[in-house]
Structure 1
Amino acid sequence: MSGLLRWPGRYTDRHGAQDIVFESDGRELIRTTIRGVRFEGGTMDTLGALDGEPPEQMFTFRDGDLWSCLLEWGLTMPVEVEGQGERIATVHCALRLWYPVETEDLTVTLRLDGREYRATHPDFEDALHEIGAALPRHARLKACISCAWSDYSPAGHSMMTGLACFRDAKDVYRRCDGKRGPHGIFTIWPLHTEFVQETWLCEQFEHRTSDRGYRGPFPFRGWD
Structure 2
Amino acid sequence: MTSRLVIFDVDGTLVDSQTDIIDSMTAAFAGQGMTVPSHEAIKGIVGLSLPVAVTHLAPRVSEARRDALVAAYKSTYQALRLQNGAKGSPLFPGARAALERLAANPAVTLAIATGKSRRGLEALMTSHDLAGFFASTQVADDHPSKPHPSMIHACLRETGIAAENAVIVGDTEFDIEMGHAAGIRAIGVTWGYHPLARLRRADLRIDAFDQLEAALGGLWA
Structure that is richer in helix per residue:
2
Normalized per residue, which structure has more strand? 1
TM over 0.5: same fold?
Answer: no
TM-score using structure 1 length: 0.32
Structure with the greater alpha carbon radius of gyration: 1
Higher relative contact order (CA 8 A, sep 6+): 2
